[in-house]
Amino acid sequence: MFESRKSGILLHPSSIPSPFGIGDFGGDAYRFIDELAVAKQTLWQILPLCPVDSGGSPYQSTSAFAGEPLFISVDLLVDEGLLTQNEVEAKKLATFHRTDYSVARELKMPLLRRAFENFRKEEYPKAYEEFLEENKGWLEDYALFMAIKAFFIEKRKEDDKDLLEFNRDTEGFLSEEKVRGYFYSACWCSFPKELRERKAETIVKWRELLTNNVQWECFLQYLFHKQWRVLKSYANENKIQIIGDAPIFVSYDSADVWANQKAFQLNGLGFPTVVAGVPPDYFSETGQLWGNPLYQWKYHEKTGYQWWTSRIRKALEDVDILRIDHFRGFESYWEIPFDAVDAREGQWVKGPGKKLFRRLEKALGELPLIAEDLGIITEEVHKLREKTGFPGMRVLQFAFGQDKNHPYLPHSFNQNTVVYTGTHDNNTTLGWYENAAEKEKDHFRRYMNVTGEAPNWDMIRLAFSSPAQLAIIPLQDVLGLGQEYRMNQPGTTEGNWSFAFDWDMWNDGCTEGLKYLSRLFGRNHG
């Protein structure tokens, strides 16, 4: 699929330096691209750009199509005349060490509201009208969904008399904790019945009632996509491709599920009958109970996989290459009862397999996809990936201390591979080495004939020298950061998604090291 050997960096925009509590699409993102170009890197991998959940995770989002508004650069809005320099400067933080979504919302949302009011004072530009038209397939449902949620969240803070009625409607199907959680977060399952079931006249009524808030949501998406597309074009002009990330599943409380209920396994009340997760593995002894609703694959097949085609088309407009998270779920997925305590109660169920990808190829042409095939992988999953031609993934941190021909060791994998020192779910390489068993450390040192004094650069060298066509390195490993800088720890809900770096961490040695290894191992084409 990929014509030449390439390498690059894994870094989510949220981790880019910023005085607003979160990285964005402004000047420092352009500086990051410049640094990649100087270091002769040609890939920038990101996590999903979609709106994050309350904990900052982009893997439980209100939309598989929308973008996170906090990535909008308010500095760039000064250039457009939507904000003044003084307004923006007054909100900037003196220091910025960790990504903090709550702080970012407090600082940026009032500024974005002000920009919205200024935007509405003038005639809407043609580009805005074109954006609304080109994206109405997902944007209309998303904007209304978010406006309705915001309405009920505020209403229920002051008046919760509808809680008892919602409790009765669930017919004892939910625990009291879930009832309250869904109610106060204004999950779509707690909407009034006609709205929950999307009665046509009810949708029209609420769209008119919440016109201003619907327009607000559309405005945010317009700014997000406008700024991101310009930033992506800048990367492409510098010979850097963007690798995006698409979670296989979507969040239950999302515009995707609310607007496409037949596409998911839901009961008559709108609740999932079964949910997604994975069985016990390296990360968790009890498995991972993700809680996402599972697809009604027969319905998708009947519609010609229309929703999936729209989703992948949109994703490939936003990025150049797309990593499909949990690829194995297309062959078989772990189905867990909705009321299960943990993931151990699940079972494997067959997925759509090659039929889905055949349909996507027919509609979209050659698919520049990467299959995340980590975890418990069967021969059937390997065969599916081979049939699609998508490259698989290998994580070097998983390779040591076990079988001398472990599939993640470079001498065991082929060219059609994307190799990582670690992913966003792994410890940093320094953190991994410090916590590794002596058996792993010994294997690591002997495999590369090194002392282990600089394990992060040893691992980067191993990735670059491997036969894998693409090599991706988390920025933490380039900067030599310890475990306190890891991005996510699967199976936990606290302290994740907060990694941010400072430019003081990036020195000439980082740039020269990447440049040298890229040239040495044929990954430099600049």
pLDDT one-digit tens code per residue, 191-213 = 999 999 999 999 999 999 999 99
Exposed e or buried b per residue across 13-52, where buried means at least 16 C-beta atoms within 10 angstroms of its C-beta: bbbbbbebbbbbbbebbbebbebbbebbbbbbbbbbbbbb
Catalytic residue among 325, 373, 440, 458: 325
Cα end-to-end distance, the chain, whole Å = 20
Residue 154: both structure tokens together: 């505020």
CB atoms within 10 A of CB 273: 14
CB atoms within 10 A of CB 483: 16
pLDDT one-digit tens code per residue, 468-521 = 999 999 999 999 999 999 999 987 888 899 999 999 999 999 999 999 999 999
Q: At which residue do the structure tokens 């190799």 appear?
A: 419
Q: How many residues does the chain have?
A: 526
DSSP per residue, 154-186 = HHHHH--THHHHHHHHTTT-S-HHHHHHHHHTT
**Average pLDDT, integer, range 226-231:** 98
DSSP, res 339: T
Q: At which residue do the structure tokens 């990101």 appear?
A: 46
Residue 420: closest CA among 445, 399, 402: 399
pLDDT one-digit tens code per residue, 104-141 = 999 999 999 999 999 999 999 999 999 999 999 999 99
Exposed e or buried b per residue across 350-366, where buried means at least 16 C-beta atoms within 10 angstroms of its C-beta: ebbbeebbebbeebeee
Alpha-carbon gap, residue 290 to 275, rounded angstroms: 7
C-alpha dihedral over 212, 218, 224, 226, to 10 degrees?
A: -120
3-state percent breakdown (helix, strand, coil) of the chain, nearest 5: 50, 10, 40
The sign one gets for the Cα dihedral 187, 152, 52, 432 is negative
Q: How far is CA 522 from the centre of its chain?
A: 30
pLDDT one-digit tens code per residue, 236-262 = 999 999 999 999 999 999 999 999 999
Residue 47: both structure tokens together: 């996590």
pLDDT on residue 444: 97
Rounded to 5°, angle at Cα 86 from 84 and 87: 65
Catalytic residue among 372, 440, 458, 477: 372
pLDDT on residue 183: 94
Instruction: Report in angstroms the alpha-carbon separations of 109 from 75, 133, 152.
Output: 13, 25, 19
pTM of this prediction? 0.96
CB atoms within 10 A of CB 321: 21
**Average pLDDT, integer, range 20-38:** 97
Residue 360: closest CA among 445, 301, 289, 444: 301
pLDDT one-digit tens code per residue, 294-333 = 999 999 999 999 999 999 999 999 999 999 999 999 999 9
Contacts of 107 (CB under 8 A, 6+ apart): 20, 21, 91, 92, 93
For strands 332-337 and 274-278, give the pairing.
antiparallel
In contact, 408 and 456? CB cutoff 8 Å: no
pLDDT one-digit tens code per residue, 64-95 = 999 999 999 999 999 999 999 999 999 999 77
pLDDT one-digit tens code per residue, 442-474 = 999 999 999 999 999 999 999 999 999 999 999
Contacts of 45 (CB under 8 A, 6+ apart): 8, 9, 10, 11, 242, 243, 244, 245, 323, 472
Catalytic residue among 35, 87, 335, 425: 425
Residue 526 has pLDDT above 80, yes or no: no
What's the maximum distance between 2 C-alpha atoms anywhere in the chain?
71
In the residue annotation, 425 being an active-site residue is answered as yes
Rounded to 5°, angle at Cα 214 from 14 and 256: 65
Residue 525 has pLDDT above 70, yes or no: no
C-alpha dihedral over 28, 29, 34, 37, to 10 degrees?
A: 150
In the residue annotation, 372 being an active-site residue is answered as yes
Instruction: Report in angstroms the alpha-carbon separations of 434 from 446, 463, 500.
Output: 17, 19, 21
| pLDDT grade for 32, boundaries at 50, 70 and 90 | very high
